[in-house]
Amino acid sequence: MTRMSPMGIVLAFCGFSALAQTPAEVTLTRLDCGNGVTSSDIAFFSDTNAYDGKKQELVVSCYLIKHGDDYLIWDTGYPAAVAGATATGPTAKFNLVEQLARVNVKPEQIKFVGVSHYHGDHIGQAGSFPQATLLIGKGDWDALTSTPPPPGANPAPVKHWISGGGKFEAVPRDKDIFGDGTVRMLDMPGHTPGHHSLLVRLKEKGNVLLTGDLAHFRENYDSNGVPVFNTNRADTLASLDRFKQMAKNLNATVIVQHDPRDIEKLPALPGSAK
């Protein structure tokens, strides 16, 4: 019998491990979850009066991440009831289920619904994917299930999971969603207690960081602006510092999800970044 040397055993084991942990192919697609609207006064996006009387166009964007044969929806926009409607606020031209149909993805194929935080323009259509596991920051989950919920926290869109009808995970810190480092929820509290951003590692485009509502437009991101409605100023600034350090170290493309200038960095449906 041929014996393998200790070094050979190590090399063989390392080769096996590398093979076993080969990341799946990942793609990232931008979805339309709210048409652009120009806010006539964005003063409330700064607690230092940086934007008094200024205007800013904002959009609502959601994202489809394909990981091998599995799918993750990141943020779910406004409720489907307002999708396509004419209203004073931003609305989506098509709801998420209709958009996914364009790339032959059915609601039951969505394995995870990840939400950056509990505000209505980010969890509105979560209920369209009842078979999915809901991933939400623990601080936000605690707020949604408290009696009564705090201002701005509407539990109705995720009542399916609150009532025990579906699987969920209240994420306390960072989470490696698929276990291979390609898609990570990042603990970035401050906007809400359990706010998270998302890192997606793509083979061709490289690293992409989705802000959630860590910042709402480029100028606020660049200046470390803190909206008056954030739940914790110190946490917001700490999260911005961590996020920017990660963006620098990973040479990442930063997508400020509400800024129409930023979301154009990613292809819209049916295209995808790889």
| Superfamily of domain covering 24-263 | Ribonuclease Z/Hydroxyacylglutathione hydrolase-like (3.60.15.10)
Alpha-carbon distance of 274 to 272, in angstroms, equals 6
Edge-first strand listing for the sheet containing 196-202: 175-176, 183-187, 196-202, 206-210, 253-255
Number of H helices, E strands in the chain: 8, 13
Let me know: does 104 contact 179? Beta carbons within 8 Å.
no
Q: What is the mean pLDDT of residues 230-247?
A: 98
Domain ranges of the chain: 24-263
pLDDT tens digits for 53-96?
999 989 999 999 999 999 999 999 988 776 555 444 556 678 99
Q: What is the mean pLDDT of residues 181-187?
A: 98
Residue 11: pLDDT over 70: no
User: Could you give the residue ranges of the DSSP H alpha helices within the chain?
Assistant: 6-20, 96-101, 120-123, 138-144, 159-162, 218-222, 233-249, 260-263
Q: What is the mean pLDDT of residues 121-128?
A: 95
- What percentage of the chain reaches a pLDDT higher than 90? 80
Q: What is the mean pLDDT of residues 4-30?
A: 60
Main-chain dihedrals φ then ψ at residue 263, nearest 5 degrees:
-65, -20
